[in-house]
Amino acid sequence: EVRIQILADLELPENGTILDIGAGCGSIGLEALKLRPNLKLFCIDKSIGSKELISENARRLGVVPKDILEEDINNLISTNNINSLKKASRVIIGGCDKTTKLRIIKELSREMKCGDILAIPLIDIQTIKDLREALKENNFEVNLNLIQTYKSLSISEGIRMDPNNPIFLLRGKKLI
- pLDDT per residue as tens, the chain (176 positions): 889 999 999 999 999 999 999 999 999 999 999 999 999 999 999 999 999 999 999 999 999 999 999 999 999 988 877 777 888 999 999 989 999 999 999 999 999 999 999 999 999 888 999 999 999 999 999 999 999 989 999 998 899 999 888 999 999 999 98
Query: What are the pLDDT digits (tens) for 123-135?
Result: 988 899 999 999 9
The pLDDT tens digits of the residues spanning 88-106 come to 999 999 989 999 999 999 9
- The string of DSSP letters for the chain reads -HHHHHHHHTT--SSEEEEEET-TT-HHHHHHHHH-TTEEEEEE--STTHHHHHHHHHHHHT---SEEE-S-HHHHHHTTTTGGGTT-SEEEE-SS-HHHHHHHHHHHHTT--TT-EEEEEES-HHHHHHHHHHHHHTTEEEEEEEE--EEEEEETTEEEEEEPPPEEEEEEEE--
CA dist., res. 36 & res. 32, Å (int): 6
CA neighbours within 13 Å on the CB side: how many for 25?
Answer: 8
- Residue 165, classified by CB atoms within 10 Å of its CB into exposed (0-12), middle (13-18) or buried (19+), is exposed
- Facing residues of 5 across strands? none
